[in-house]
Amino acid sequence: MPGYELWGEEEKKHLNDIIESGILMRYNFESVRNNHWKAKEFEQAIQKRMHVKHVQLTSSGTTALMTALNTVGVGAGDEVILPTFTFVASFEAVLSVGAIPILVDIDETLTMDPKAVEKAISPRTKVIMPVHMCGAMADLSALKELAKKHNLLIIEDACQSFGATYKGKYLGTIGDLGCFSFDFVKTVTCGEGGAVLTNNEDYYVHADQYTDHGHDHIGDNRGAENHPYLGLNYRISELHAAVGLAQFEKLDKILSTQRKNKKALKDALQGIEGLEFRKLPDEAGDNASFLSIFLPNKESARELTRELSSKGIGNAYWFDNNWHYVRKWDHLKLLKTLAPLYKEHKELLPNYANADYSQSDAIMGKTITIPISLLWTDEDLAKKAEIIATSVKKVLAK
């Protein structure tokens, strides 16, 4: 699943370029950096492969989301529609700009249900933010129709689905903006890092400026640059970009290995009565970093997660997970913040603690997800496939 599994000489080579020059910052110092521009090279590589006009690297997937929201002017009182199944960074980013996270149910794609999205649209809605969870995509055709109908923006949170596609286009390039994470356990890692993608020139200029304290990056004298807008420091370092560039060069190998390994596990489970697979709007575009299966109910899913864990098979039961599903987000439900929110902001927030997410509960309660490793040998794969199939049959036989 994560690129760190393929750490090797390529990463060391790109890192040594930076270590030898001593220039760790992505901007300026032209005369002493030995022409090493790892962040620029990484951005250009993504642009070329993903057929997108602009890429702005950031310090994390979280800051990529925050940059994207600022870039399109999302702020005080604006509503952003999110799924109930995501990483906490999605709603954290929305809250950080003074906007309102509106959580909606997922469907069996494990991403936002377009019907739930349409019901949630209000006069305050500004953005639909699909989150492409666990390597695969939301129903972007339906969501784009909704966005067009209601004059809304789409910001794709593709942090978990780098390299995945939908109808031939890369996730993160289909909406108005797309965001990626390159943290340590993502498909491609920088250690820490992220990116904002867009085909809109104005959005790119805003992102470029916002991530560097508002610098306009015009001229070759950093101290003389203007600041058209307020910004923050969300820059990526050259060290992190160097790792990401080396990892990106391995993307084809990563994707092909994941797809081969996932197919072997899925083939082993085909035809087992009572077992279903996650619905994928475009199965060919799945980056295959995870295999998600549905059991009949919570009881059988919980029994399977225990059975697999006891056999050494890594898996996630999201219904009981603290980070990725609304059920355990008590810090959001109780609005536990280190500093108080503005009164007006707090009054606009929904009552998350008492919201009805029964549709999501029914789906997440029966879902088990198995991460796909890049390091499995054919022997490992055959053994794991057998263990998983045997465990599923054992649980379903009861």
Q: What CATH number does residue 86 fall under?
A: 3.40.640.10
Domain at 327, CATH number: 3.90.1150.10
| Dmax (CA) of the chain | 72
| 185, 319: one domain | no
Query: What's the domain count of the chain?
Result: 2
Please name which of 124, 79, 89, 86 lies closest in space to residue 105, comparing C-alpha atoms. Answer: 86
pLDDT of residue 2: 81
How many CB atoms are closer than 10 A to CB 122? 11
Question: What 3-state DSSP class applies to 127?
Answer: strand
**pTM score over 0.75:** yes
| 41, 94: one domain | yes
**48-67 pLDDT, tens per residue?**
999 999 999 999 999 999 99
- Residue type at position 18: I
Q: Which residue among 191, 217, 251 closes a domain?
A: 251
**354-367 pLDDT, tens per residue?**
999 999 999 999 99
| 152, 174: one domain | yes
pLDDT of residue 220: 84
| 364, 279: one domain | yes
Which H or E run includes 166?
A: strand 165-166
| 113, 234: one domain | yes
pLDDT of residue 3: 84
**318-335 pLDDT, tens per residue?**
999 999 999 999 999 999
**183-233 pLDDT, tens per residue?**
999 999 999 999 999 999 999 999 999 999 999 999 888 989 999 999 999
| 164, 35: one domain | yes
**23-52 pLDDT, tens per residue?**
999 999 999 999 999 999 999 999 999 999
| 258, 342: one domain | yes
Q: Which residue among 216, 251, 286 closes a domain?
A: 251
pLDDT of residue 91: 98
| 186, 64: one domain | yes
| Average pLDDT score over the chain | 97
| 153, 296: one domain | no
Q: Which residue among 251, 269, 301 closes a domain?
A: 251
Q: CA torsion sign, 57 to 62 to 63 to 69?
A: positive
Question: What 3-state DSSP class applies to 281?
Answer: coil
| 196, 313: one domain | no
Please name which of 71, 331, 317, 255 lies closest in space to residue 175, comparing C-alpha atoms. Answer: 71
- Residue type at position 266: K
Helix pair 38-50, 238-248: axis angle to 10 deg:
30
Q: State which residues form the domain around 72.
A: 3-251
| 173, 218: one domain | yes
- The rounded distance, in Å, linking the Cα atoms of 291 and 315 is 9
Sheet containing 367-371, strands listed edge to edge, beginning at the edge strand earlier in sequence? 276-277, 290-294, 367-371
| Residues 332-347, mean pLDDT to the nearest whole number | 95
| 178, 121: one domain | yes
**% of residues, the chain, pLDDT over 70:** 100
Q: Which residues pair with 55 in a beta bridge?
A: 197
